[in-house]
Amino acid sequence: MPNTRRYLYMHKGDNEWLSGDPTGEEWNNAWEELKAKCPHQIEITEDMYASAEYCEVPEWVDVTIEDEGMLAFKMARGVIGGIAGATSVVFNRHYDLNVSQEWGGWDYNRLEVFDGSAYLTFRGKHSSDEVEVNITEQFNQAIGEVI
């Protein structure tokens, strides 16, 4: 079964309340409302990086790791550790990406797998700006690896 998560960047627009006190009633009500709107598991992150100083990051990114890629993804981790000089393996399939509407879509993306981490990088549809999202926990869970 595909593994899907929504990554919410906590320092963007309407998401800034996420960095507040999670024990308050207002925060809990907002969280419940957010979970009701999103059918996926939600991960609050600060690990969303822009390639340029003035590049905007989207409010959210949905990432789905598809079952068809599991063998290739598991093998990538073995290749990285087994071939001298291999530091990462890059994929452009077996996953799906969706970004919040205010960002205007994407045109190029890649999933880069390292020895102990995984990052999804994508470029804006009408821009050369790139954004990188740390999806390590989701990736490791999808391939059944605990690091």
**Which of these, 63, 80, 37, lies nearest to 141 by C-alpha position?**
63
Arithmetic mean of pLDDT, 11-28:
76
Q: Is there a contact between 51 and 130 (Cβ–Cβ < 8 Å)? A: yes
Taking only the tens place, the pLDDT of each residue in 44-54 is: 888 888 887 76
Per-residue confidence band for 140, with pLDDT thresholds at 50, 70 and 90 = very high
pTM (predicted TM-score): 0.85
Query: Parallel, antiparallel, or unpaired: how do β-strands 3-9 and 60-65 relate?
Result: antiparallel
Phi–psi pair at 131, nearest 5 degrees? -125, 140
Measured in whole angstroms, how far is the alpha carbon of residue 16 from the centre of its chain? 18
Phi–psi pair at 23, nearest 5 degrees? -95, -10
> What does the alpha-carbon distance between residue 7 and residue 37 come to, in Å, rounded to a whole number?
14
Arithmetic mean of pLDDT, 101-126:
88
The two tokens of residue 80 are: 């990285």
What pLDDT is stored for residue 147 in this prediction? 62
Taking only the tens place, the pLDDT of each residue in 52-107 is: 776 788 888 999 999 999 999 999 988 887 788 889 999 999 999 998 888 778 88
Phi–psi pair at 106, nearest 5 degrees? -140, 160
Which residues does 60 contact at the CB level (< 8 Å), separation at least 6?
Answer: 6, 7, 8, 9, 15, 99, 100
